[in-house]
Structure 1
Amino acid sequence: MDLKRLRYFVTVARLGSFTRAAEELRMAQPPLSQRVQELEAEVGAPLLDRDSRPLVLTPAGRLLYDQAVQVLQKTEAMVTSMRRLLSDERPVFNFGVVPANFHSSLASIIREYRRVLPGVEARILELNSLEQVDALRTGRIDAGISRVEVPAEGIRRIVLREEPMVVALPNDHPLATLEEAMPLVALKDEPFIVYANNPRPSLADHVLAQFESRGVSLSRTIEIDQYDTALILIAAGTGVSIVPASARLVTSPGVSYRPLVEHITSPIIFCHREDDATSELRALYFALAQFLTECGHPIPKELRLRTDTALD
């Protein structure tokens, strides 16, 4: 079975559109459609319901899609491994992180990682949670740290910890001087800033869901793309927001942080390819365990088990 046809089919199925898939693959739509038709002829069954919008997989299409994703993932990993083996270049380990998402601890993790594997170059790519899934499957990154649970075939996810969230508001805001914790309802009439990364879901959806689940209706929301922009708007007195507590470690003139009455957290999620057994990934398990221990956080059971195995 031709790998290129499989890749074309997986892209169409993932995006639910021949037009969008052709754009991503940088090819014309007619030959893309023809390649998928050839694949359908080869397997002897239709793979897509072309009458639906977006396109929907048939039962045969779903079965092939699940298998094709794994085949393409393993092929890409094999090619990457061979390229590294045959290259004289320094080995590279690529981290995917959610843009501007308060990874103040990432520097410490990478420092520990470089201590364990000094011969490996660590690189960082800014990708949202959904983009990390595709990047892992295609080999663009070797591991990711995200904030949103995105279940995906062939991707292992470990919640490292649940981080408390706090209110971010202008220094001169009347609520900034309160010593006691602040309830969510106190924010209902404030212009509320959400930093949403497309495609959704994003951390913004998680934050907004906290208000909805408690019956608090916000009078006005301001949606922006970047957290840096949110900080500028907050410092300028334009609005308030809710952010992970580690945001307080980032210097933000004009912004104050207050604790919440409600216990609201945001998960920090470590993800990688399920079948990855490289020494580079094992070193990252060890670095993460070391970092959590030094910070006084418990080590997740799955992370501990794999760390123990890596040290055997």
Structure 2
Amino acid sequence: MMELRHLRYFCAAAEELNLTRAAQKLFIAQPPLTRQIKQLEDEIGATLFIREARGLKLTPAGRYFLDHARQILDKVAATVAGTRQVASHGKQVFGIGFVPSIFYGQLPRLVRRLRQNKNVEIVLKEMKTGEQVEALKAGHIDIGFGRLYIDDSEVEQELLFNERIIAALPAEHPLATGPVSLSQLANEPLVVYPSGSGPNFADIMQGLFANQALKPNPVQQVNDVQTALALVASDLGYTLVPEQVKRVTREDVVFRAITGSDATSPVLCSRRREPPNAVMRLANLILSELVSQKQQDPSLL
């Protein structure tokens, strides 16, 4: 019968790709490790490693099993840690993952209301949407807020609302007096965000200009909104941000609507596909109220 030790032994062997080093890492002798790996392969009915002269090589089945074995071990570790925390504090831990640009809007209201329940301890973790999905599957967080759609059978995503994209400009910029068009912005220096393998905010920015046959003028790449706004304040250029970012009050930065464009960025909630517990039901109820308020009054951020 497969046990957790089989998963730990397998992961060590898969990470080292050498049974001798893996055995040393596990503080056991090599022959028992070899037997445990063979037992695991027999139990699964699949070859996980190809034995080569220089060491081990994962088979396609082995690579697949490694991904899921890590998730199982992470889930067990998170469960143990959470259980200890509940035992020591008498509270249920509720982990929330978020991308920074979400935290300027309604997320703080959700956190404040959840914290009114004295039996719940809220843990906030800043992470990208893809990282949130992996953290959900591993049990490190319970709910995530991001802007990218991730296709994963173990995680469900709910569109809360679409948020307008606006321009952030230096306060003394000639275009800072009113709404601006993309054609006006195209020749101005632009502070951009890094692109990646999947759809992201950088792609949305590029798409805005491409849809109007315009080419932006990027001058600096940054990883987060706060750094982008700091560079805007330094008069390095302008940037594009989701509307709720205008909650950030800086005397040296102004936020302006973009005319001739209906570009938006989604605000998504990610959860594990499982029956909700009491805290999740409360979080869902609060979220429903906040989204309903925004639908009734779109000016709410």
TM-score if structure 1 supplies the norm length? 0.73
State the distance in 1 between where 2:262 and 2:156 align.
27
Change in Cα spacing, 1:277 to 1:62, as seen in structure 2 (3 Å) is: farther
Question: One-letter code of the match for 1:207?
Answer: M
State the distance in 2 between where 1:8 and 1:191 align.
53
Q: Deviations over 1:285-311 (max 9, x none)?
A: 01111222233359xxxxxxxxxxxxx
Match of 1:249 among 230, 247, 250: 247
- How far off is 1:160 after superposition? 0.6
- How far off is 1:197 after superposition? 8.6
- How far off is 1:146 after superposition? 0.9
Is residue 234 of structure 2 the alignment partner of residue 233 of structure 1?
no
Instruction: Name the structure 2 match of 1:307.
Output: none
Structure 1: gaps (5+ residues):
299-312
Change in Cα spacing, 1:121 to 1:71, as seen in structure 2 (3 Å) is: closer
Match of 1:192 among 172, 190, 193: 190
Secondary structure (helix, strand or coil) at the match of 1:175 reads coil
- How far off is 1:185 after superposition? 2.8
Does structure 1 conserve the Cα–Cα contact (< 8 Å) formed by 2:75 and 2:138?
no
Change in Cα spacing, 1:279 to 1:172, as seen in structure 2 (3 Å) is: same
Change in Cα spacing, 1:170 to 1:132, as seen in structure 2 (3 Å) is: same
State the distance in 2 between where 1:80 and 1:290 align.
32
State the distance in 2 between where 1:62 and 1:257 align.
47
- How far off is 1:163 after superposition? 0.6
Q: Aligned runs of 1:75-224 on 2, under 5 Å?
A: 75=76, 79=80, 82-83=83-84, 86-115=87-116, 117-177=117-177, 179=178, 181-196=179-194, 202-224=200-222
Secondary structure (helix, strand or coil) at the match of 1:242 reads strand
Change in Cα spacing, 1:8 to 1:279, as seen in structure 2 (3 Å) is: farther
- How far off is 1:238 after superposition? 0.4
Change in Cα spacing, 1:132 to 1:255, as seen in structure 2 (3 Å) is: same
- How far off is 1:191 after superposition? 1.6
Q: Deviations over 1:53-82 (max 9, x none)?
A: xx9973x45774686577557646754664
Q: Deviations over 1:221-243 (max 9, x none)?
A: 41112322211111121011110
Change in Cα spacing, 1:37 to 1:71, as seen in structure 2 (3 Å) is: same
Q: Deviations over 1:9-68 (max 9, x none)?
A: 7899xxxx957x99xxxx979969x88965546534345799xxxx9973x457746865
Instruction: Name the structure 2 match of 1:284.
Output: 283
Percent of aligned positions that are identical: 31
Instruction: Name the structure 1 match of 2:29.
Output: none
Q: Which has the larger radius of gyration?
A: 2
State the distance in 2 between where 1:248 and 1:258 align.
9
Change in Cα spacing, 1:64 to 1:283, as seen in structure 2 (3 Å) is: same
Secondary structure (helix, strand or coil) at the match of 2:104 reads coil
TM-score if structure 2 supplies the norm length? 0.75
Secondary structure (helix, strand or coil) at the match of 1:287 reads helix
State the distance in 1 between where 2:153 and 2:196 align.
21
- How far off is 1:170 after superposition? 1.0
State the distance in 2 between where 1:65 and 1:7 align.
10
State the distance in 1 between where 2:22 and 2:203 align.
35
- How far off is 1:161 after superposition? 0.5
Q: Deviations over 1:72-122 (max 9, x none)?
A: 57646754664456444433212111135453322211122234x332122
Change in Cα spacing, 1:56 to 1:145, as seen in structure 2 (3 Å) is: farther
Structure 2: gaps (5+ residues):
27-32, 52-56
Question: One-letter code of the match for 1:127?
Answer: M
Does structure 1 conserve the Cα–Cα contact (< 8 Å) formed by 2:191 and 2:239?
yes
Question: One-letter code of the match for 2:289?
Answer: Q
Secondary structure (helix, strand or coil) at the match of 2:119 reads coil
Secondary structure (helix, strand or coil) at the match of 2:208 reads helix
Moved more, 196-205 or 123-132: 196-205
Corresponding pairs, count: 281
Moved more, 78-87 or 157-166: 78-87
Question: One-letter code of the match for 1:147?
Answer: R
Q: Deviations over 1:99-156 (max 9, x none)?
A: 35453322211122234x3321222111111221222122221111111122223112
Q: Deviations over 1:165-207 (max 9, x none)?
A: 1011111111112x3x433232222221123498865422332
Does structure 2 conserve the Cα–Cα contact (< 8 Å) formed by 1:94 and 1:124?
yes
Instruction: Name the structure 1 match of 2:267.
Output: 268
Higher strand proportion (structure 1 or 2): 2
State the distance in 2 between where 1:99 and 1:49 align.
43
Change in Cα spacing, 1:11 to 1:163, as seen in structure 2 (3 Å) is: farther
